Every structure is written in C-alpha cells, then in structure tokens.
Structure 1
Amino acid sequence: MIIKKAPVFVLLAAMLWGTTGAAQAFAPAGAHPIAIGAARLMVGGMFLLLVVLFFGRFERKGWPIRLTILAALSMACYQPLFFSAVLQTGVAVGTVIAIGSAPIMSGLLELLFFKRRPARIWWMATVLSIIGCVLLFLTGDSVTIKPAGILLALGAGLSFAGYTLLSGKIVQGRGSLEAVAVIFGIGGILLFPFLFLFEMDWILQPKGFAISLHLGIIATAAAYFLFSKGLQQVPASSAVTLSLAEPLTAAVLGVVLVGEELTLLSWLGIGLLLAGIVLTALVSGRREPV
C-alpha cells in the first residue's frame, strides 16, 4: 500500500498546532491569549522570512499579490477572532464552533468560487470528524450561549477556511516556504498593533520566551510550511478536515502533560475523529464535478 505524502504533511501540521494548548497552559501568569496569538504570528513570520533570506529563493515575477494579501488578512483575523470567541463562550463551545465549522465552510467556498464539489465520502468523513470534535469537548458543565461569541467563532472558522483555500492557490507552481513566509510576514505586520494593547512583560521571562519560540517556530512556521506542502496536492476542503487532528492532539497532550482527565464520551469522540481523519486521508484527492 502506497502512502500519500501530502495528507501526511497536513496531519503533521495539525499535530504541531495541537501543541499550542499545552504550551499556553505553561505560559506565565498575565499572558493574555490574544497577546500570545499575536506574538506567535510575529515570531513565526519573522523566522520564516529569515529562513527564506538565508536559504531560499524568492521569485517576485508573477506573484499573486491580491491572493497573498487576502490570505494574510485571513490568518491575521483568525487569531483574535478565535481567542475572543473562546473568551466569550468558553473553550469548549468556542473551539467546537470555530474548528467544526471550518471544514463545512471550506467545502462551500470551493463550491461557490471554484465550482468544485468534494466527494460524497468526504462529507461522511467530515460529519464523523465534527461529531467526534463535539463529543471530545462535551462536558457536564452548563453552557452559556452568547450570540456575539458564536459569531466570532464562526468568523474564525471562515477565516481559516479562507486562508486554506487562498494559500492552496498560491502554492501551486511556487515554493511552499516562500509562500508561507510572505503570508505570515504580512500577517505579523497586521497583528503588530495588538502587542501594544496587552501586557507583554511575560515574554521577557525565560518560560515566556521559550513558549513564544515554540509557538512561533514549531507550531506556526514549521506547521504551516508542512500544511502548505500538503495543499499542493490535497484539496482545501480535505485539508481543513484533516486539520481536525489538532484538537485530537491537544486532548491527548492534555492528558499526558497537563494531567487532564477525559470522559467516556471524550474517548468516543477521539475514536470518531480518528475514523473521519483516516477516511479523509484515503480519499483526499477525489472530487465530484458540479
């Protein structure tokens, strides 16, 4: 059996994203989630640009400037939208709506703008994964539904889906490293003002500095480079579904590193998530004509 490399790249990227929750759990007191997100994008963007300057080649001719700016704007919007949604609705509801809505939105965006319909089995795998995500974050605590928080979470899901679709077009015919470096360099500039809105003394502490490096270099630069490599062959809708490996990884790390306990429903959710992800990986290249 031949294993396709592209879906593996996307899965590895999602697993690296899944380390962000555990890393933030060890952040110094006073580190605001939005400030952490802004610092993460700044560090990741600068690291990628330095790598391109020293080791890569940047071909300006024929560069899709409009798509690049839209992709950078989508990624810059995702960070504050997601963290604001979590603050409004709680971790469980905010994460489920933001991450769970992204695959559906990516499929709809592909259909609307590129006239591509994902295969029926993709919808089955996506539904399985979303149900698994809901069960994974389902707790016995009472949930307060705030319309503003729901809208923010849906905006985060749309931003991630839009970034995936746009970057998937950008990396066709050019290096993934250069594409990600430019997108995140611009995204970091867009989020730079957030660094002045929150207390940033935590980043000067050894623990805070180490966490910012991990989030920027590993969970952002390396992760999105792998994600872009996968997008050269994997459709955007399938890539977003595969990225649901992020909450799965976060849950496992929460148990192993942070000492969290999962309920039986949460373990069932992990099983459904795994089933949906494996199914998506097997059919990641299939599309149906409209």
Structure 2
Amino acid sequence: MDEYSRIVASVAAELTPKVASVKAGRSSGSAVIFTADGFLLTNAHVVGSARTGSAAFSDGTSAEFAVVGADPLSDLAVLRALEPTPPPVTLGDSDTLVVGQLVVAVGTPLGLTGSVTAGVVSGLGRSLPARSGSAVRLIEDVIQTDAALNPGNSGGALADAGGHVVGINTAVAGTGLGLAVPINSTTRSIVAALMRDGRVRRAYLGLVTTPAPLPPAIRERVGQASALRVVEVVAGSPAARAGLRAGDLVLSAGRKPVGDAQGLQRLMFAEAIGRPLPVTVLRNGALVDVIAEPTELTPYSTL
C-alpha cells in the first residue's frame, strides 16, 4: 500500500467508529463524538427545530440523544447521547492548515454509514452566510475542500493526516467544492457556550458594512490597508445612538483594527453586551471616536 493510501486508511479506521449517522425529525446527517461522556457535534441545520433524535454507529449500536443547543449563525449544534457511545475524536486546530494539505472526510452521505473520501484543502478564510430569523452573520474562516461531500455528510468530520478533526462538514457548494466549519478558538467558545447555556449570546450594533481599501495616504496615516465602509445604520440601533453614519469608514473597534467583517464579528459575543465599545471611524478625512454600547442580538434583529 502506498503512503497516501496508508494515511487515508489510518484516518478512516480511527474516525469511522466515532462518527454517527443521526436522525432528528425529518432531517438526517452526521455527528462527531467529541467528549468521553457522550457529547456529539453536528450542524444546526441537521437538527433544525428538533429536540431529540437517534444516532447510529458503525459497530451496529445506536443511542437516543437530546439536543443540548443549536446555533444557526455558526451552523453548529451539540447533542447529548442518552446511552453509551464509542470514544471521542481528537479535536485539532484549523488555524494550522495550509492550502494543498491532505484532508479526509468521514460521514454518512445518503445514509451510508462510515463513508470516507479524501482530498486537499482547496482554500482557507472563506465566508459562508448564515441566518437566524432576520439576523444574518458570516461564518468566518470556512475551510474549502475538494474531498467529495454529498447530502448526509453535513455534521461529519473533516480531519488532517494525523486523524485530528479540524472541521465539521457543512455544505456542498458545487462539484468538488465542499465547505466545513473550522475547529478553532472561536468554534470552541461557541461549543462551550452551547454546552453551558444551550445557546450563544451575541452582541448587536446595527451596522451594514462592506470592506473598503484605504487610499495610500490614509494607509500610512492609520497604519492599516483596509477598513469597513458603513453602508447603512439601523434606526434606533446602538450604532445609531452612538452617532455612526452611512459613509463612515470603521478603522477600529474595541481598540482593535478592523479591516473586514470578520474582524468586527469576533468582538460581537456575550462579553460585549451592555459594555462601552470604543469605535474609531474616518469621516470626511478626519478621525472620529465614538462610544457604542452593543445590545443582545435576537432572531428579530434587522441586521
């Protein structure tokens, strides 16, 4: 057996027993056991509004589960098996991935338990829109892979050559184009919040923005190459109360440079709710500092 085949076969042998086929209501997909006491990780869209379901494993055993919490804005959900499960996977760190690196996908496409495909990391830093009610957010740093994914792979494992799970497969965007939610520090925080509270609390400013490059003279002045142009400020929102305006270029928030939507989103978690948030913008060539106080994002928030 050649080296490539040995690696794929080794990862498959390691992960196949630890990836379940799950059914929740009318929906089905895959889930990954990630703790020794029976917690599983899957996609929020796999469980939908269901509160219970069943998981089947490659060794022929099965277990009922309860949905501990789901977060549509990251497309992640945590399940708790009510019966014994196989041992957990080892979670890796998607921040260490490089384009061209070998990855292996394990899941249950079309209900076929223990299906394995392999490919490479085709791209990093992709963004995937997610929605909860009227609230829309980008899932950041999504992993793009050419490992074949099909319906039912959602919620399954994307692993590196060492068998460490670095992503949760979430979407098929086209032939040879699969996407996975990364396993990184942000995802670990989301999973911890779901296990602890059953939901993820996020902060809300009320801005519609788009990335914008800064002119060379401004780049030298502020020490960064891009900012977020404010397209719209929602009436009555924290951003509106702070005095932010359409046309402003957001340079920093919380005293951290902001060059893209992800830079701002990383600040919009529970710890920012109700706390003063310094925001620096470029307005008509002048630097303007304002203080915003984010509120909690709800499914009915306009933006």
TM-score normalised by the shorter chain: which range applies? under 0.3
TM-score by length of 1: 0.22
* Greater relative CO (CA pairs within 8 A, separation 6+): 1
Structure whose CA Rg is larger: 2
Structure with greater helix percent: 1
The structure with more strand, counted as a fraction of residues:
2
